[in-house]
């Protein structure tokens, strides 16, 4: 095979491998989430996760500096409907600009992680 023929074949092969690698970066299964754009101290922050039934959801709430915030969110298993909602109450006087709700979802097909962001506004600042 001449080098002029090998280059396109090599390029196609590399593109196919890159596509497979990048597809794996997205996770093992489809997972969607909805959350409020922003909250104030004392607000409830509902997060709805859409994932395959029986997916186990584990949450950790952190501030901008990686400090864990409490109370924690209990683990949840996605019901047959494919949707689960958890709610976290934002403490008053929280001194962070962004909540990081770290989600790890796992089921028989693998594991998916997300860092869900919710802006924290001070009292009187509009969302």
Could you tell me if residue 61 is inside a domain?
yes
CB 120 within 8 A of CB 66: no
Could you tell me if residue 19 is inside a domain?
no
Tokens found for residue 3:
């080098």
Tokens found for residue 93:
């006087």
Q: How confident is the model at residue 2, as a pLDDT?
A: 56
Could you tell me if residue 14 is inside a domain?
no
pLDDT per position as a tens digit, 46-55: 999 999 999 9
CB 44 within 8 A of CB 88: yes
Q: How confident is the model at residue 119, as a pLDDT?
A: 96
Residue 69 structural domain: 28-121
Q: How confident is the model at residue 124, as a pLDDT?
A: 84
This prediction has a pTM of: 0.76
Domain total in the chain? 1
Could you tell me if residue 92 is inside a domain?
yes
Could you tell me if residue 16 is inside a domain?
no
- The CATH number of the domain holding residue 107 is 2.20.130.20
Could you say which residues of the chain have pLDDT below 70?
1-27
Could you tell me if residue 23 is inside a domain?
no
Q: How confident is the model at residue 84, as a pLDDT?
A: 98
């Amino acid at each position: 095979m001449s080098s002029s023929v090998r280059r396109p074949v090599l390029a196609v092969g590399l593109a196919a491998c890159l596509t497979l690698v990048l597809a794996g970066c997205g996770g093992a299964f489809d997972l969607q989430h909805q959350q409020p754009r922003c909250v104030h101290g004392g607000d409830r922050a509902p997060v709805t996760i859409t994932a395959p039934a029986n997916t186990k959801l584990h949450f950790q709430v952190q501030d901008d500096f990686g400090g864990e915030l409490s109370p924690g969110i209990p683990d949840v298993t996605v019901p047959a409907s494919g949707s689960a909602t958890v709610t976290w109450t934002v403490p008053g006087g929280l001194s962070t600009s962004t909540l990081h709700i770290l989600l790890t979802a796992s089921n028989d097909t693998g594991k998916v992680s997300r860092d869900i962001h919710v802006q924290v506004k001070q009292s009187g600042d509009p969302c």
